[in-house]
């Protein structure tokens, strides 16, 4: 596998990933990306997703994060 570009990381390791309150951090867990520039896309994405807006940290938890379309709580920005 090629090296990851600088700044790229997985959703399951990213602080902008928001998942259901009772969800665990797994590859196939679905959540919503609440990164400021990506919020408008209402991006529902699994733990194996990733991008170069990655910020290392723990996911946040909010009800509705796995719905289609996902609901997001954005008061952490
Ligand atoms: S899409 Fe990017 S910014 Fe959003 S949760 Fe995944 S890695 Fe983080």
pLDDT digits (tens, 9 = 90+) for 37-67: 999 999 999 999 999 999 999 999 999 999 9
Query: Quick one: average pLDDT of 15-41?
Result: 97
Residue with tokens 């994060």: 65
Residue found by looking up tokens 């959540």 in the block: 31
Q: Which atom of ligand 1 is found nearest the CA of 50?
A: 7
Q: Which residue has the tokens 């289609």?
A: 68
Q: Quick one: average pLDDT of 15-31?
A: 98
Q: Measured between alpha carbons, how far is 42 from 72 in angstroms, rounded to an integer?
A: 8
Checking if the pLDDT of 1 tops 60, the result is no
3-state class (DSSP) for residue 40: helix
Of 7, 43, 54, 57, the one to substitute when testing ligand 1's pocket (max ligand atoms within 8 A of C-beta) is 54
**Predicted pLDDT at 2:** 58
pTM, whole model, 2 decimals?
0.91
Q: Using CA positions, which residue lies closest to atom 6 of ligand 1?
A: 11
- Across the range 19-40, mean pLDDT stands at 97
């Amino acid at each position: 596998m090629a090296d990851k570009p600088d700044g790229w990381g997985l959703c399951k390791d990213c602080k902008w990933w928001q998942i259901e309150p009772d969800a665990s951090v797994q590859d196939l867990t679905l959540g919503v990306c609440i990164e400021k520039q990506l919020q408008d896309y209402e991006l529902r994405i699994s733990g194996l997703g990733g991008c170069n807006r990655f910020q290392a940290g723990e996911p946040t938890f909010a009800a509705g994060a796995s719905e289609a379309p996902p609901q997001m709580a954005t008061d952490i920005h």
